[in-house]
Structure formats: structure tokens, C-alpha cells
Chains A and B, each alone.
Chain A
Amino acid sequence: DVKVTQSSRYLVKRTGEKVFLECVQDMDHENMFWYRQDPGLGLRLIYFSYDVKMKEKGDIPEGYSVSREKKERFSLILESASTNQTSMYLCASIRQGGSGYTFGSGTRLTVV
């Protein structure tokens, strides 16, 4: 069964900490995405990547960075966590030209 795995389901971090959210897919997909989900706002795209070492800003990149050193892994980095980054973070991947994005189970991050 194809999978997108997010390393943590729940995380609690302190304001100012550097936070790493990891996402790994086993489908050899070229494209990977990070979204955050907030009540009433739906899913908003933070960053995406079409290939190794490539990254593009989504709609809300401020306060975030990403890393894609290997095809299967796409990491989201919160350089200095703030309380307004408390949210559900979802990773997704899709094969170039494919249909049907596969999502991870999500990481619920709380910044205190």
C-alpha cells in the first residue's frame, strides 16, 4: 500500500524553538507539498517541491522553510516557532502527471 508518513502525530513546542516536521513517501513521487489546516480556513499551501533540492513558495511561506535533499523526504522547518503556527500540518505527494494526491496522517503542532 502506498504511503506518506509524517513522523509525529502530536508535537508540543515552546515559542522560539526550531521545529522540524518530517514527511517521507515510498511511492517515488516527484512532487511533494506541505499544507496547514486551520478551522474555517481550510488547507493552505505553505511550500512545495517538484524535485530534489527544488522548492517553491506556496500561499503562506512566511515563518517556514523546507528541505528536500532526497526524493522521498520533504521536511518543513519552523525557524522560530510562534503561537500563531499552532495548527494541523499535512504533507502530500503525487507523481508528476499523476492524479490523486496521497496525504499523510497529519501532525498536530501546538506552540506554547
Chain B
Amino acid sequence: SQELEQSPQSLIVQEGKNLTINCTSSKTLYGLYWYKQKYGEGLIFLMMLQKGGEEKSHEKITAKLDEKKQQSSLHITASQPSHAGIYLCGADGIQGAQKLVFGQGTRLTINP
């Protein structure tokens, strides 16, 4: 079965700094999703990547899927307190199955 490994598991950065979260898959990714979760709440959809080399941005958050479609990175530029939370990557385990598997999450803390 497909497994997703996120790194780092937790991250503390100073407000205004840039940061990167990685998500590595044991198998080819057919669809890679990034979600954000505020503490104790549900998941908010950020972006979906499907094609090798694809890159998407939303405000100060950019996500990329590598050419081999086995690794994705999430980059935040000039971090703000509103970026704090848990970031999770999820992937379709089998193409077309629409059954997501998730990484264990990265807990991001922004210090003022």
C-alpha cells in the first residue's frame, strides 16, 4: 500500500521567514493534495497537483510535484501567524480509486 512520509514533523519559524515542508511517497503519485488544519478543526483544501513538474500557488503558498511524481514540497514565503497549523499531504492510493492516504502531518508554529 502507498505510504506518505512528511518532513519535518514539526517546524518553528520566525514570522517573516520562508519555510518548506516535504512529502515523499513510496509509489507514484496520481493526485497529491495539500491540506491545512487549524488545531482541533477540520481540513481545509489548499491545492491539488497531478502532473509531473506541476507547480501551483495560492497567495504566499506554493506547492510543487517533482517530475517523477514521488515527491511534493510546500513552500511558504514570508510566513505570518495565520499560517500556523498542521499541514497534511494526501494522495490517491490507487489511480481513480478516490481513497486518500495521508502523511502524518507537519505542525507549523510561527513566532512573532
Interface-lining segment among B11-19, B63-71, B97-105: B97-105
Q: Name the contact of B104 in the complex, choosing from A42, A103, A104 (C-beta under 8 A).
A: A42
Q: Does A101 contact B45, Cβ atoms closer than 8 Å?
A: yes
18 contacts between A and B (CB under 8 A): A33-B99, A35-B102, A41-B104, A42-B103, A42-B105, A43-B88, A43-B90, A44-B102, A48-B99, A88-B40, A90-B43, A92-B43, A99-B48, A99-B50, A101-B45, A101-B90, A103-B35, A103-B45
Which residues of A (98-112) have their CB < 8 Å from a CB of B? Answer: 98-106, 108
Residues of B within 8 A of A8 (CB): none
Residues of B within 8 A of A98 (CB): 98
Residues of A within 8 A of B98 (CB): 31, 94, 96, 98
Residues 74-97 of chain A: 1 if any B CB is under 8 Å from the residue's CB, otherwise 0? 000000000000001010101010
Q: Mark B residues whose CB is within 8 Å of A.
A: 1, 31, 33, 35, 40-45, 48, 50, 88, 90, 98-105
Residues of A within 8 A of B44 (CB): 103
Interface residue tally for chain A (C-beta within 8 Å):
29
Chain B nearest CB: distance from A112 CB in Å?
A: 19
Q: Does A100 contact B48, Cβ atoms closer than 8 Å?
A: yes
| Further contacts, 8 of them, CB under 8 A, given A42-B105, A100-B45, A103-B42 | A31-B98, A33-B100, A42-B88, A45-B101, A59-B1, A98-B98, A103-B44, A106-B41
Q: Mark A residues whose CB is within 8 Å of B.
A: 4, 6, 31, 33, 35, 40-45, 48, 58-59, 88, 90, 92, 94, 96, 98-106, 108
Q: Name the contact of B33 in the complex, choosing from A4, A96, A101 (C-beta under 8 A).
A: A101
Cβ-closest 6 pairs across A and B: A42-B104, A103-B43, A105-B42, A43-B102, A103-B42, A42-B102
Complex CA gap A6/B40 in Å reads 14
Chain A nearest CB: distance from B23 CB in Å?
A: 11
Residues of B within 8 A of A100 (CB): 33, 45, 48
